[in-house]
Structure 1
């Protein structure tokens, strides 16, 4: 995800204890950190709805 790309929302694992929601909107990328994957996914779903983007399946947990 790079600034200047179309609007997008992604959920990524950060280390072992945090999840990041990356929101690209109007050429600007912001990040919100969460301790729980469920909270990150809920936030991401809300951002996708707000931006009029399609829903995505939950992020995979590559560190599980």
Structure 2
């Protein structure tokens, strides 16, 4: 990630758990969760805090 990139929040399924990738001012933060619901709730809060309107689809790759 580099400075100037747009802010973004993504939820991904990862190895039996869930991760939330938050990009704020080009800085990536990754948080891991055991289940989907807390990950989605955290991601929703981050989207609201960053002023992001849309909720992107879950990346299940």
Work out whether the TM-score is over 0.5: yes
| RMSD (CA atoms) | 1.6
- Whose relative contact order is higher, 1 or 2, with alpha carbons under 8 Å and at least 6 apart? 2
May I ask how many residue pairs the two structures share in their alignment? 59
- Residue 51 to residue 8, structure 1, CA distance change in 2 (3 Å): same
Gaps of 5+ in 1: none
Report Cα offsets for 1:36-59 as digits up to 9, x if no partner.
Answer: 100000000000000000131662
Identify the residue that residue 30 of structure 2 maps to in structure 1: 31
Counterparts of 1:39 and 1:58, CA distance in 2 = 16
Name the SS of the counterpart of 2:58 in structure 1.
coil
